[in-house]
Structure 1
Amino acid sequence: MSRHQALQLSISDPLTRWRLLLGEAAQGCLGDLPGEAQAADAALEWLYGRDPDRKARGERSASRHGGHEKSQLTTPDWINTIHELFPKEVIERLEQDAVERFGIDEVVTNLEVLERIEPSPSLLRAVLHTKHLMNPDVLAAARKLVAEVVRRIMEQLATDVRQAFSGSRDRRRRSWVPVARNFDFKRTVQDNLHRWDPQRKKLYLDKPAFMSRVKRHTEQWDVILLVDQSGSMVDSVIHSAVMAACLWSLPGMRTHLVAFDTAVVDLTDDVADPVELLMKVQLGGGTDIAKAVGYAQSLIHNPQKSVVVLISDFYEGGSDHELVRRVKTLVENGTQVLGLAALDADATPNYDRETATRMVNAGAHIGAMTPGQLAAWLAEKIRR
């Protein structure tokens, strides 16, 4: 019997489940835990015993329990224990809380832990925040974790980008390629009317019909992604890197990726390799958005065929006036300017609304998007 199976057997008792849920404070009422439930309690206490709110509730902190097994767990021991005891969804939540809620950097700076831990977006964020603390061996293991998470994100995003840029549907032409998004409902009904069953009141389909898509051609466009690499924008940095890699492969488009804080770093040479790109990003520091927009201006050769996507929370550490002036100049020259307060899977922004409003008044579009929504927006503006 595995430890996970033994734990499931131990917690079949409702009182045992309540004891695990309520923690050590309930031991006096509910008694000692049986079997592997003790190990599960130790693992949970090792993590959630760090909660500063426990002191306010009159509970003791796990860090004060000298000599108790739960306080002797090392980070690798804890990782191994939770992987043996808990199901995958619980493991992911525990690892996420360890990194994001309690700031246990060792989860992503310890080689043994990195080789064991399950890749996830929360761990990718942690690696980007702490990679400067890693020795070469740990950094190599972290790179593998980054590569796996990026592969998963890119797999989904590449589909969204292909769909957005695949051309408009042509209802006049039939396609023999069965693609769901090209399904022709009207033609399918017409072609199968002879299969109508009046008694059952059902239409039976023999062959569904699909529309073809128009291949649209365009002059060369420049798409410039300006990415704020302040610590709060880490999710947007990740998705910008993957987005740039997907756009890079599209014909008729030159994609530039530029990261900035108070300095501006052009990462375009690495845009085809989002893993390498992310490992070069330096999170944190101040913000000079106007300088980044000025650099974007220097990259533009044909304003009428250029799009600048500024991904930032718009908290300007430089000159607000200069930022708005440069945005206005871009728009007046014919460049499309899109300001995104968030570019990630949730598109939930936290940004300086006053600066954003001034940019709107200067002619920029402001919003928050998922990468798929950005792909659709770009496809519409470029009118391929």
Structure 2
Amino acid sequence: MTDMTGSPGPGVGTVAPVAPASAPGAADEEAARRWRLVLGRYAAEHLSVPGQDAGLERSLRYLYDREYAARGHRAGRGEHDQRPGRGGGTLDPSAVQGVDWTAMTWLGEAQKLFPRETFERMQVDAVGRYGLTELLADEAAVEALEPSRELATALLQVRGRLDERAAVGLRRVISKVVEDVVRRLRPRFMTAVGGRVDRSRRSMHRVARNFDWKRTVRANLGRLDAQGRVVVQDVRFSSRSKRALTWDVIVLVDQSGSMASSLLYSAVCAGILTGLPGIDVRLVLFDTSVVDMTHLAHDPVSVLLTAQLGGGTDIARAVRFAEQQVRNPSRTVVALVSDFEEGGSVSELLAAVRRLASSGVRLLGLAALDEAAEPAYDRGTAQRLAEAGMEVAALTPERFAEWLGEVLA
């Protein structure tokens, strides 16, 4: 069995489970079936909906007819006649083939009808693209939503339009997503950043990150089996020493709308770092103003629910703020998470970066900090920052942990 990704409206994807075709005729029928689900009601004149697809059709229409309605489309005779003056009703997304569905009804049906990956995409469209935020006000609906980074990002972008009941549901969804990301990332940060390996001392803490393969091989070279293979009986682990001096890690995070995903991971990474020994974290969010969120850095959920996505960008102001916080330049890291679309003074930004770099501060400019690490950013400004002494990259959170580990070693 295979799945098909299609689009009932421009730029919108969905998946319908399909049966294997056994002959050319069956293949044509299957293709027609798929296209009918992709195109929606505007293909009704030429393509019919098979009986087994009635539920899929209702669910897709309830959500994606909103795309047509938002563009001013009206249904005339037979629902496909778009000629002026033909009359007819609008594409009312609340009335689906005579069934008075609510958002919660739709959610339950979609969850049953579609594969999990498709349902996750549809719920993101429902909340982020079509404004079905009433889902967040229903406890059962919140429990039915599949927590994902994409859903969390969409919710952060509509947070300012939610009422009090929906805001409670928003916190629950964001909390689930953050818990999942922290659970996955914390071991990586502990391995990469959690202390320097001291190979002169053996450790009784027998965990994978402390495994010393070189000393293990040397300790077992004299133990061979009949085939000449080394028999490992003495497994060695190295100790990790605490850092003699504390490192300051200053994380500056751009709050512009395009950075929503990176904001999520920046908050999580800062929260994890606050729990590691020998590291003092300062978390700063900025747009045209600068907000020091260090007091909440240990709580990524509160950081995300406080952030204000959108607005202008004054990177120079944020970097100057970080400059004022530097206590020991040779033991300070500044990580700037931004798309580098500077609305302030580029010359002042570059001057601040040069001062920090010449003082010994390690600077990393992150055009993206998320799982995709595929940024859209101002390449010109990024190039000039790199020339001024800032390392510029787009990293996954795991690679960011590795980079920090290399710097703090």
For the aligned pair, the TM-score class normalised by the smaller chain equals 0.7 to 0.9
The whole-number CA distance in structure 1 between the counterparts of 2:246 and 2:366 is 24
Secondary structure of 1:376 counterpart:
helix
In 1, the alpha carbon distance for the partners of 2:327 and 2:215 equals 45
Q: Deviations over 1:243-296 (max 9, x none)?
A: 111111122221111100011111111111111111000000000011111111
User: 1:185 Cα shift?
Assistant: 4.1
1:230 aligns with 2:256: yes
1:118 pairs with 142, 146, 157, which one?
Answer: 146
Structure 1 counterpart of 2:63? 47
Query: How far 1:30 moved relative to its partner?
Result: 6.4
Shift of 1:206: 5.6
The number of residues matched between the two structures is 364
Moved more, 220-229 or 187-196: 187-196
Q: Does residue 39 of structure 2 align to residue 22 of structure 1?
A: no
Q: Which whole-Å CA distance do the structure 2 matches of 1:253 and 1:68 have between them? A: 56
| Structure 1 CA distance for aligned equivalents of residues 54 and 301 of structure 2 | 41
Give runs of aligned pairs for residues 69-80 of structure 1, distance below 5 A.
69=97, 73-80=101-108
CA shift digits 1:14-72 (9 cap, x unpaired): 5675455212566667654224x21112212333445669x9xxx94996379652885
Aligned AA for 1:33? P
Does structure 1 retain, via aligned residues, the 8 Å contact 2:133–2:166? no
1:176 and 1:254 map into 2 onto residues whose CA distance is: 28
Who is 1:33 aligned against? 50
Q: CA deviation at 1:204?
A: 7.5
Work out which of the residue numbers 110, 114, 120 in structure 2 matches 1:92.
Answer: 120
Distance 1:156 1:286 in 2: 33
1:317 aligns to what?
343
SS in 1 for 2:154: helix
Alpha-carbon distance between aligned partners in 2 of 1:32 and 1:274, rounded to the nearest angstrom: 46
From the two aligned structures, give the one with the greater helix fraction: 1
Q: How do 1:188-199 and structure 2 match up within 5 A?
A: 188=216, 191=220, 194-198=223-227
Instruction: Identify if the C-alpha distance between structure 1 residues 71 and 205 changes in structure 2 by more than 3 Å, giving closer, same or farther.
Output: farther
Equivalent of residue 167 in structure 2, options 123, 139, 162: 139
TM-score (norm. length: structure 2): 0.79
How far apart are 1:145 and its partner, in Å? 0.6
- Residues 70 and 307 of structure 1: CA distance in aligned 2, closer, same or farther (over 3 Å): farther
Given the alignment of the two structures, is residue 105 of structure 1 paired with residue 131 of structure 2, yes or no?
yes
- Shift of the 237–110 alpha-carbon distance from structure 1 to 2, 3 Å rule, reads same
Structure 2 partner of 1:180: 208
1:344 is aligned to 370
Deviation at 1:108, TM superposition (A): 6.5
Instruction: Write out aligned runs for 1:145-156 (5 A).
Output: 145-156=173-184
Gap change, CA 1:167 and 1:306, over 3 Å in 2:
closer
Distance 1:333 1:318 in 2: 24
CA distance in 1, matches of 2:120, 2:234: 42
| TM-score, normalised relative to structure 1 | 0.84
Amino acid at match of 2:225: W
Q: Is the Cα–Cα contact under 8 Å of residues 136 and 165 in structure 2 kept in the other structure?
A: no
Query: 1:130, CA displacement in angstroms?
Result: 1.1
C-alpha distance in 2 between matches for 1:284 and 1:294: 21
- Single out whichever of 59-68 and 156-165 deviates more from structure 2: 59-68
* Separation in structure 1 between the aligned mates of residue 99 and residue 348 of structure 2, nearest angstrom: 54
Q: Does the aligned pair in 2 maintain the 1:19–1:27 contact within 8 Å?
A: no
Q: Residue in 2 aligned with 1:371?
A: 397
Closer/same/farther in 2, CA of residues 317 and 334 from structure 1, 3 Å limit: same
Contact 2:316 2:348 in 1 (8 A): yes
Deviation at 1:364, TM superposition (A): 1.3
Q: CA deviation at 1:119?
A: 1.6
- What is the percentage of aligned positions where both structures have the same residue? 37
2: CA distance, partners of 1:90 / 1:239: 23
Q: Out of 278, 292, 317, which is 2:318 matched to?
A: 292
Residues 386, 392 of structure 2: 8 Å contact kept: yes
CA separation of 1:307/1:166 partners in 2, compared to 1, >3 Å: closer, same or farther?
Answer: closer
| Matched-pair contact (CA < 8 Å) for 1:108–1:130 | no
Instruction: Give the letter for the 1:43 counterpart.
Output: S
Tell me which amino acid in the other structure corresponds to 2:60: L
Mapped to 1, the partners of 2:353 and 2:18 lie a distance apart of 60
- Give, as a single letter, the amino acid of the residue that structure 1 aligns with 2:380: E
Counterpart of 2:357, as a letter, is V
Moved more, 150-159 or 162-171: 162-171
- Offset of residue 165 of structure 1: 2.1
Structure 1 unaligned regions, length at least 5: 1-9
Superposition deviation, residue 324 in structure 1: 0.4
Aligned to 1:7: none
Q: CA separation in 2, counterparts of 1:338 and 1:91?
A: 37
Aligned with 1:214: secondary structure? strand
2:278 is equivalent to residue 278 of structure 1: no
- Structure 1 counterpart of 2:34, one-letter code: L
Aligned residue among 84, 91, 102 for 1:64:
91
Unaligned runs of 5+ in 2: 1-16, 74-78, 83-88
